[in-house]
Structure 1
Amino acid sequence: MTKKVVTCQQDDNSYEAAVKMRDADIGAIPVVNGDQLVGIVTDRDLVLRGIAEKKPNSQEVGSIMTKEVLTAEEDATLEEIVRLMSEHQLRRIPVVKNGALTGIVALGDLSVEDLSNDRAGDALTEISQQDQDHGQGFLH
C-alpha cells in the first residue's frame, strides 16, 4: 500500500488536479474533506466530465469526481483487496480507517508484492485484461 497519497480537496480546480497527476505520474487522486475520503478524480474523469463537456479548467474537482468509491478497510488482507479489485475491475483502491484515507493500493503495488497464490496472479491478469477491453473504473 502507498501511504503517502497525493490528494485533492473538492474545491480544487480540475487544472490543479491535472498538474498533480502529471507531477506525481499518477492517473487518479483521492478527494478528501479533511482526512475523510469523499471521492476520487481520475484522468478519465478530467476528460469525460471536464474537457469533453467543455467545462473550464477552473471547474471544481467536486463536480467532476467519482463520488461513489469502493474502498478497502485498513485491516483488510491482501487477498481481500485483490478479490475486491478483481470483482470490480479496479486498477486502484483507496484504503480507509473509519472513513479516513490511510493509503491506496494500485496494480503496481500488487505486481511487486510476493503474491504466492494463483488467485492473486489471476486477479492481476483479469484486471489488466478488463482495462484493455473497457477502460478503468471506480464506480460501485
Structure 2
Amino acid sequence: MRINDVLNAKPSHDVITISPDASVRDMVALLAQHNVGALIVSGDGTSVDGIVSERDVVRRLHDDADILDRLVGSIMTSEVRTCEGDLELTELMQVMTEHRIRHVPVVSQGRLTGIISIGDVVKQRIGELEFERDQLDSYVHQT
C-alpha cells in the first residue's frame, strides 16, 4: 500500500493551508471549521513553508496568554518532514513513530499534493487487518 492509495481513499482531497502572516486566532478558526488537527503553512498554497497544529498552540498557551494574537509563523514548525505519494505506508508509519509526528505533507516535485494524518494511517491499517481476518475466516470455514 502506497501513500497515494491512502490519499485516494480519503473522502476529501483538500489540503487546508494558512499563510505564515495569519494570526493564530485565524488558524484556530480554520482548524475548527475544517475539523482538522494541523494546517500546512504556505505563502502560495503549493509550497510547504511549515506546519502548525493545535498542539503548537496548547504548548505555548501556558507561557503566553496572548498567543492567539501572534502570527502563525512564530509558532509553526519550519523543518517539516514530507513524503512522496509513492512511498510505502509502512515506511511512513515508521517515520511518524520514530519522530513522534502526527501529520505529514505529501509532495510531488516540491508541490503540496496532500496530507496524511496518523488517523488516516490507522484507518487504512485497520481496514487491511479486517480484510485479512475476513479472508482467513472464510478459508477456515470452507467445507
Which residue, 42, 49, 60 being the options, matches 1:38? 49
Structure 1 unmatched runs, 5+: 117-140
Query: How many positions carry a matched residue from both structures?
Result: 116
Contact 1:50 1:64 in 2 (8 A): no
Which residue, 101, 122, 134 being the options, matches 1:111? 122
Worse-superposed segment, 73-82 or 12-21: 73-82
Name 2:83's counterpart in structure 1.
72
Contact 1:14 1:60 in 2 (8 A): yes
2:20 maps to 1:21: no
Give SS of 1:30's match: strand
Give the RMSD, CA atoms, in angstroms: 1.9
2:9 maps to 1:9: no
Worse-superposed segment, 34-43 or 85-94: 85-94
Contact 1:27 1:42 in 2 (8 A): yes
Name 1:132's counterpart in structure 2.
none
* Bigger helix share: 2
Contact 2:23 2:68 in 1 (8 A): yes
Give SS of 1:36's match: coil
Q: 1:73 to 1:65 in 2, by over 3 A?
A: same
Please tell me the residue identity of whatever aligns with 1:81: L
**Partners in 2 of 1:112 and 1:64 — Cα distance?**
29
Shift of 1:74: 2.3
Bigger Rg over Cα: 2
2:99 maps to 1:88: yes
Name 2:74's counterpart in structure 1.
63
Q: Which 4+ runs in 1 deviate beyond 4 A?
A: none
Please tell me the residue identity of whatever aligns with 1:21: L
Please tell me the residue identity of whatever aligns with 2:100: Q
Name 2:136's counterpart in structure 1.
none
2:109 maps to 1:98: yes
Worse-superposed segment, 105-114 or 65-74: 105-114
Q: TM-score, normalised by structure 2?
A: 0.71
